[in-house]
């Protein structure tokens, strides 16, 4: 008897949830647990079957189906809003610290490449109007 692949994809149409072999004329069923999808922005998803599900009844060639989900909107609680705000604040703080650290490393590398001492660099900044190592202030800006 001839066998065909039956491929079950998630709704992104890329993620393979299962790939089974089915004999010609037989039906196919998903071998795993009911697929799930993570909530996004307060929207919960429930598995609602397979797009192309009718092809699973009698397999006569390779079949590819993909999951479909229904969206269920939920009302955010004050705790949900607080937790989302807290996560956003933590991410913002982390990004600011990372950016400041990156700038400090860049400045340290510039100083290391410069042949002057730190005292000479500060003196040059004060005397010559340089704002950072290797950067002179715009003369038009001073006016």
How many percent of the chain have pLDDT more than 70?
60
Phi, psi of 135, rounded to the nearest 5 degrees? -125, 120
User: How far is Cα of residue 81 from the mean position of the Cα atoms in its chain?
Assistant: 21
Show Cβ contacts of residue 133 under 8 Å, excluding neighbours closer than 6 positions. Answer: 107, 110, 111, 114, 121
11 pLDDT higher than 80: yes
Residue 32 DSSP SS3: coil
The pLDDT tens digits of the residues spanning 50-73 come to 999 999 999 999 999 999 999 986
Lowest mean pLDDT among 23-27, 56-60, 72-76, 131-135: 131-135
CA angle centred on 68, ends 81 and 51, rounded to 5°? 170
pLDDT score recorded for residue 8: 97
DSSP state letter for 109? H
CA distance 2 to 84: 53
């Amino acid at each position: 008897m001839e066998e065909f692949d039956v491929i079950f994809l998630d709704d992104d149409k890329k993620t393979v949830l299962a790939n089974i072999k089915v004999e010609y004329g037989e039906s196919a069923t998903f071998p795993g647990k009911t697929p799930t999808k993570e909530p996004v922005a307060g929207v919960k998803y429930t598995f609602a079957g397979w797009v192309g599900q009718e092809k699973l009844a009698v397999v006569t060639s390779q079949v590819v189906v993909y999951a479909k989900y229904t969206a269920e909107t939920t009302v955010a609680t004050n705790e949900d809003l607080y937790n989302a705000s807290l996560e956003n604040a933590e991410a913002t703080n982390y990004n600011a610290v990372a950016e400041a650290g990156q700038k400090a490393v860049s400045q340290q590398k510039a100083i290391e490449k410069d042949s002057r001492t730190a005292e000479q660099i500060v003196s040059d900044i004060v005397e010559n109007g340089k704002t950072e190592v290797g950067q002179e202030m715009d003369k038009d800006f001073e006016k």
